[in-house]
Structure 1
Amino acid sequence: MKKVVLTGGSSGIGKEINLFLLEKGYEVLFTYCHSEAPAKEIEHQFPHAKAFRIDFTSGEQMNAFQAEIETFDPDILINNYYSGSFIDTYFHKTEAEKILEDFKNNVMPALQITQKCINMFRKKKLGRIINILSSSMVSPAIGTSVYNSNKAYLLQMSKSWAIENVKFGITCNSVSPSFIPTGFHKDMDERMKEMIVSGYPLKDKLEGGDVANIIELCINGGKHFNGNHLFVDASHY
């Protein structure tokens, strides 16, 4: 198993996972939207990397990406992409349109891409699905209700994917990292970041490379390693 579709692979955790896999010799088809410079740099550095620019809110671009997946013929899918904010506002102040918009922008693309890959994996009797979630679901910060609800939806879906497809040689596992300061958290107050890290058992921030090591376990753990929700948080929660 050497061909990976990775959503959101040019920045943050996704970039770390991408580089880890490419250095291990995997072929990676990864998506990006705004981070064109780092995406092209990764392509230049690794001949077995292929960047695909996509706005997941565009039906036309989604169709083009699914056609690209068909051509690429992957063995592994990593759902990492998330667009929006980690911390927004209190739930009772959140407009219904905001909740629906974030669901359509983040959850629906993951479902569509996963459906596409499952259909391909079933024909090959082999496949790996890995969802990057968040330990924030266990201990949510104020203002993260929309973000956490989207991640929780994918967690519940992943349980169905695991049980429905294991007899076809397909496994599905989810990985929930603890807080990793990336560009995704750029709008967070620095004092809040410091408070989160100070409460972490190791008193040091988690790195993207730590998550990448767990990804390899999900890929190579075998057919019985299925339906797991793995926390990368030094037993914080």
Structure 2
Amino acid sequence: MKKVVLTGGSAGIGKEINLFLLREDYEVLFTYRNSEESTKEITGEFPNAKAFQIDFADPLQIDDFLKKIQDFKPNILINNFYSGTFIDTYFHKTDSDKFLTDFQTNVIPTLQITQECIRIFRKEKFGRIINILSSSLKFPAMGTSVYNSNKAYLLQMSKHWAMENVKFGVTSNSVSPAFTVTDFHKNMDERQMEAIVASYPLKNNLEGKDIAKFIGLCINGGPHFNGNHIFLDASNS
């Protein structure tokens, strides 16, 4: 049974990915922060699910999670966690502290977790890194400069992970899903949501289960499926 570390696996897209993997008999160590009810449902239904509550803004909790990863010895890492807002305010109105705070909360923990997993993967001569990004990298919405810049940083890192580790049997791929309605977008204007969906060729929302299917490709695509960044948006151009 392959072992997966999934950050942010109790709600939204992360939950759909989590359920997909658990139903395929993967053993999943997933993180959550506040979604206790959803987490209990997942761990109650699937004995192969292991939950870890964490606040990624707390360095001590991150250290504890890194130790948990060492003991777990995963084969696969899915970087999905993101804390903060999708739409905030215009770039020129953004407080400079927010750039640093969001980077420290979202990007730095992702880098630390990926470093820990890569060490394990290289020793085992096998590993899969999958990064959940955003189609907003292609069509940025107003007020998303902080969110998009963090996702863009991780995209560039993903390319380096792919290049540096493939000879050790480790691949790194990223997916940018089209707009998917989750609690993350609860502050968006409904008219804005409708306009985004109307611009897509299929005229409907991408669902979490569609993204989960792509995860299977990243896991089973072989060593040559490496360094890819896929916009999962029905070829919206």
3-state SS, counterpart of residue 4 of structure 2 = strand
3-state SS, counterpart of residue 37 of structure 1 = helix
Unaligned runs of 5+ in 1: none
Q: Does 1:214 align with 2:175?
A: no
Runs of 4 or more, structure 1, over 4 Å off, are: none
Q: CA deviation at 1:204?
A: 0.7
3-state SS, counterpart of residue 77 of structure 2 = strand
Q: CA deviation at 1:115?
A: 0.2
Q: CA deviation at 1:151?
A: 0.2
User: What is aligned with 2:235?
Assistant: 235
3-state SS, counterpart of residue 8 of structure 1 = coil
User: What is aligned with 1:225?
Assistant: 225
Q: CA deviation at 1:221?
A: 0.2
3-state SS, counterpart of residue 57 of structure 2 = coil
Query: What is the TM-score with the length of structure 2 in the denominator?
Result: 0.99
State how far apart, in whole Å, the 1-side matches of 2:221 and 2:36 are.
Answer: 33
Amino acid of the residue matched to residue 228 of structure 1?
N
User: What is aligned with 2:187?
Assistant: 187
Q: CA deviation at 1:48?
A: 0.2
User: What is aligned with 1:198?
Assistant: 198
Q: CA deviation at 1:228?
A: 0.3
3-state SS, counterpart of residue 30 of structure 1 = strand
Amino acid of the residue matched to residue 21 of structure 2?
L
Q: CA deviation at 1:2?
A: 1.2
- Equivalent positions of 1:129-144 (< 5 A) are 129-144=129-144
Amino acid of the residue matched to residue 199 of structure 1?
S
Amino acid of the residue matched to residue 18 of structure 2?
N
3-state SS, counterpart of residue 193 of structure 2 = helix
User: What is aligned with 1:45?
Assistant: 45
User: What is aligned with 2:113?
Assistant: 113
Q: CA deviation at 1:168?
A: 0.3
User: What is aligned with 1:14?
Assistant: 14
**RMSD, matched Cα:** 0.7
Alpha-carbon displacement from aligned partner over 1:161-217 (angstroms, at most 9, x marks no partner): 000000000000001101001000000011111111111110110000000000100
| Alignment length (residue pairs) | 237
Structure 1 vs Structure 2: percent identity of aligned residues? 69
3-state SS, counterpart of residue 86 of structure 1 = coil
User: What is aligned with 1:96?
Assistant: 96
Amino acid of the residue matched to residue 128 of structure 2?
R
User: What is aligned with 1:5?
Assistant: 5
3-state SS, counterpart of residue 211 of structure 1 = helix
